[in-house]
Amino acid sequence: MLLNFKFANGQNITQSKHDFSFYVNDVEQLLGNVELSIIVSNDTIKSKRITNSFYFPIIDTSKQFDILLKINGLTFSGQGYKAWVLNKGSKMTFGQITKLNKLESVAKYNGMTKKDNGWEEYSKRFFVINDVYTVEIDNRKRIHELQFLIVSPHNSNSLFTTQKTIK
């Protein structure tokens, strides 16, 4: 029965599939040399890459994992993800922004002013990647670069964002 399920659905149920994309200043980049790994209980597991998808083995649901990403000379890590996030498979989006002054805040987009309720919070939230996602940026003028990883597990209505600022 397991063999039939595997053929019928075209996937291996012992692995999770993760679609990956990379953006620089809101422009999608071709994926060249990308290394995507997870760290579980101090063990590093490298992904298996097929085109723009990466595959990992299913991990113990009682475990947490960290993500380690290397792309175009950048190294990025995210910590403390729960196993179900990996095991469901996901869409992973990595972004690098150096033109922070071109980002539009949610407050500006909605025509808010300092007098409006919630302006403080929304003035620090900025749209990225074709206005699909937002990231929080405090003191944008003091930041040279922002890197972020957005992980959206399949069929979960969840979204996990990890970001790193370089001043």
Range of the domain at 109: 16-166
Which segments of the chain have a pLDDT < 50?
A: 1-10
In this structure, is residue 5 part of a structural domain?
no
Decide if 54 is inside a domain: yes
Give pLDDT, residue 5: 37
- What's the pTM? 0.85
- pLDDT tens, residue by residue, 4-25: 334 334 455 689 999 999 999 9
Q: What is the pLDDT of residue 7?
A: 37
* pLDDT score recorded for residue 14: 85
Q: Decide if 20 is inside a domain.
A: yes
Q: Is residue 10 part of a domain?
A: no
Residue 80 in any domain: the answer is yes
Whether residue 9 lies inside any domain: the answer is no
Check if the beta carbon of residue 137 is closer than 8 Å to that of residue 100: yes
Can you give the pLDDT at residue 54?
A: 96
Whole-number pLDDT of residue 12: 53
Distance CA 117, CA 138 (A): 18
In a domain, 95, yes or no: yes
E strands present in the chain = 15-24, 27-29, 34-40, 43-46, 48-50, 53-57, 64-71, 74-82, 90-97, 125-128, 133-136, 145-153, 160-166
Q: Total structural domains in the chain?
A: 1
Residue 110 CA to residue 128 CA, distance in Å, equals 16
Closest CA to 88 of 9, 152, 149, 41: 152
What string of DSSP letters covers 27-71?
Answer: EEE---SEEEEEEETTEEEEPEEETTEEEEE---TT-EEEEEEEE
